[in-house]
Structure 1
Amino acid sequence: MVVPSLYVSLSGQMALERRLETVARNVANMETAGYRADEVKFDSLVKRPGKDPVTFASTGENYISRQAGAIKQTGNSLDVAIEGSGWLGIQTGNGVAYTRDGRFQIGVDGILRSIEGNPVLDSGNAPIILDPLGGPPEISKDGTIYQEGRQVGVLGLFSIPEDAKLSRTGNSGVIPDAIAEPVLDFAENGFAQGFVEGANINPISEITKLITITRAFESTNSMMQSVESIRQQTIRKLGEG
């Protein structure tokens, strides 16, 4: 059982390495507005069933957490935070993506853009165009945008299916593998102007995870060295016999 023990330990180290990568990425993005943390779902794999089954750790499956981040007030008329579980639509070089980062800017062409320069979309996936000289916009809970008392556009708010798999794009954007539908009910969903949502990352929790993973990796490495030492001793004794 010495060799299987080495393989089990190695599988554990591979899983820990993957978890370490996700935690490090989360720590690096703690201050990124609208960022959604990486998490890993682990399963065990039984590779040798029987009287003495050998269970290996899988490297895990990454997924993006949808838990909301903390909201902070900025007072900036071009900042909005999302209430509820919806997403803003933005047009990127990879197609339509979705984000919770509601920091906007108005281009010289009047197009409302994300902080990364991507056009912000309405519910029909069309860019929103404002008057660059029309003064600060007023944005209502349902996303209606006014300038000087005149309606000039409506922010799109989209719902991504719960079972959709998300992939990353840009700083805080995601692209789902399913169709996102416009949100029509603004009783529990909507926008809050003058606020920004932060990353959904708990700094203390992530630092604690880093320490725990590092210690687990060191412990597994120590065990592997012990198992290898036993294997070498066994080989020598068999050779002497």
Structure 2
Amino acid sequence: MDDTTYIALSRIDVLTRALDLTVNNLANANTDGFKTSRQLFSDFLVHQKDVHGLTGGKDEAYTQDQATYQDFLQGELRQTGNPTDLAINGEGYFSVRTTQGVRLTRSGQFHIRSDGTLTDGSGNPLLDTNGRNIVIPPQDQILSVASDGTISTQNGATATVGLVTVDNLNTLQQEGNYLLRPTTPTHNVARKEIRQAMLESSNVNSVSEATKMVEIQRDYDLNFQLIQTESTRRQNAIDKITTEPSA
């Protein structure tokens, strides 16, 4: 296999990953709290030797997939009318307790279990400012959630929703479509702003992602055609050599 084919294959490998990310973004355009995933890739040069095995040959550019990161731009906040729906305006993440440990999320669609525990859609308890499960007394009814996260019922304040963040958002590891695993210590946000009866929509721009998917597919097809053309050229050369009469 020659250098042209290797270069095209390196590009196809990156494009395959980019297509997977774009398809996943589009699939989660309506997932509350979902953040768009982006691909970080670059070209790297390989310095070739000349025909005598010495340095000074040409440089060849290959494409490599360096990392995947999330676009943390806030999604649109929309009214739902459900008192247990919460949206974060600004920085911060809700903390929920999963079977794998504490995870962070911007998805604020919560529910009250029969025992009064406030949980997300997967049954993970929402945590307060002290890292404890938030439990609403079964006989109480939620009246309001203040912007600072204070939950009040007809009997007064019962708990305060905790909002945390990390120093470097790029250290958060995505788990599923709405949970994030912190790999560095978390700390409370300096200023909380929680909106009751609202949810944060996905920040996916469907039109932009659909356009990107078409561009990726076109680039993929061009590189695949290049590989096929190069393969045909090499095979024709081999056939010509093997069919020519020896001197």
TM category, shorter: over 0.9
Q: Secondary structure at the match of 1:77?
A: coil
Moved more, 12-21 or 58-67: 58-67
**What corresponds to 1:113 in structure 2?**
119
Deviations 1:187-233 (A, max 9, x none): xx410111100111000011111111111111111111111122222
State the match for 2:238 in structure 1. Answer: 235
Deviation at 1:159, TM superposition (A): 1.2
1:109-154 alpha-carbon deviations (Å, 9 max, x no partner): 1111112210001122111111223113411111111011501000
- Is this contact kept in 1: 2:112–2:119, CA < 8 A? yes
Contact kept? 1:39, 1:64, Cα under 8 Å: yes
**How far 1:170 sits from its partner (Å)?**
4.1
Matched residues in 2 for 1:208 and 1:44: separation? Answer: 23
Alignment check: 8 A CA contact 1:157 1:190 kept:
no
Unaligned runs of 5+ in 2: 49-55
Distance (Å, rounded) in 2 between the aligned partners of 1:236 and 1:42: 38
1:62 & 1:156 partners in 2: Cα distance?
Answer: 28
CA distance in 1, matches of 2:68, 2:126: 28
Give 1:18's aligned residue.
17
CA separation of 1:129 and 1:163: change in aligned 2, threshold 3 A = closer
AA in 1 matched with 2:229? S
Alignment partner of 1:95 out of 101, 113, 119? 101
- CA deviation vs aligned residue, 1:4-62 (integer Å, no higher than 9, x gap): 00000000000000000001111111111101121110021223355411111013411
Matched, 1:160 2:166: yes
How far residue 65 of structure 1 moved from its aligned partner, in angstroms, is: 2.0
One of 180, 185, 199 as aligned partner of 1:179: 185
CA contact (8 A) 2:46 2:60 kept: yes
Let me know the Cα RMSD of the aligned residues: 1.6
What is residue 46 of structure 1 aligned with on the other side?
45
Equivalent position amino acid for 2:110 in 1:
F
Counterpart CA distance in 2 for 1:156 and 1:212 is: 42
Q: What is the alpha-carbon distance in structure 2 between the residues aligned to residue 69 and residue 181 of structure 1?
A: 22
**2-side partners of 1:237 and 1:48: how far apart?**
31
Q: 1:163 deviation in Å?
A: 5.1
Q: How many pairs were matched up?
A: 237
Matches within 5 A, 1:64-83: 64-83=70-89
Residue number in structure 2 paired with 1:133: 139
The separation in 2 between residues aligned to 1:8 and 1:217, in whole angstroms, is 13
Instruction: Specify the SS of the correspondent of 1:58.
Output: strand
- Contact 1:35/1:172 (CA < 8 Å) preserved in 2? yes
Which residue of 2 is the match for residue 9 of structure 1?
Answer: 8
Is the Cα–Cα contact under 8 Å of residues 64 and 166 in structure 1 kept in the other structure? no
Confirm or deny: 8 A CA contact 1:79 1:194 kept in the other structure.
yes
**Aligned partner letter, 2:111:** Q
User: Relative to structure 2, which stretch is displaced further, 43-52 or 61-70?
Assistant: 43-52
Q: Distance in 1 between matches of 2:165 and 2:120?
A: 19
Deviates more, 1:47-56 or 1:140-149: 47-56
Q: What's the TM-score once normalised by structure 2's chain length? A: 0.90
Q: How far off its partner does 1:166 sit?
A: 2.3
Percent sequence identity over aligned pairs: 29
Question: Highest CA radius of gyration, 1 or 2?
Answer: 2
SS of the residue 1:236 aligns to = helix
Give the TM-score taking structure 1 as reference length. Answer: 0.92
Please identify runs of 4+ aligned residues in structure 1 that moved more than 4 A: none
